[in-house]
Amino acid sequence: MKFPKGDRTKIEIREGHYFLIIVENGDVTHYTPDVGLSHAEFVKRSVGRLPEGAWVGSASKEDGVLSAVNSYTFYQNQMPGPESTQKAVRDSFC
């Protein structure tokens, strides 16, 4: 799903659940709760190919804390995403 531009209504992630997300220019631009998709398929269906400078990974809520984790497919690690991505997740989800 494309994140509505200008709409800052936060989307709920339930405790222990994950969303696949794309962050570009400090904003979540696309997301899906369909974790049956690989990150590669999510990007392909959402934008074709990952735009330069964009980030893809997973957002989750554990113990009430929202966080973003790098896509192993794109970054060869599952470390926390950069601070700008963490902020985008906190600004877009609850």
- Please, what is the average pLDDT of the chain? 94
State pLDDT tens for residues 13-59: 999 999 999 999 999 999 999 999 999 999 999 999 999 999 999 99
Name which of 76, 71, 77 is nearest 54 in CA terms. 71
- The confidence band for 6, taking pLDDT boundaries of 50, 70 and 90, is low
- CA distances, 61 to each of 2, 12, 41 (Å): 20, 9, 23
- The confidence band for 9, taking pLDDT boundaries of 50, 70 and 90, is confident
Can you give the residue ranges of every domain in the chain? 18-92
State pLDDT tens for residues 71-84: 999 999 999 999 99
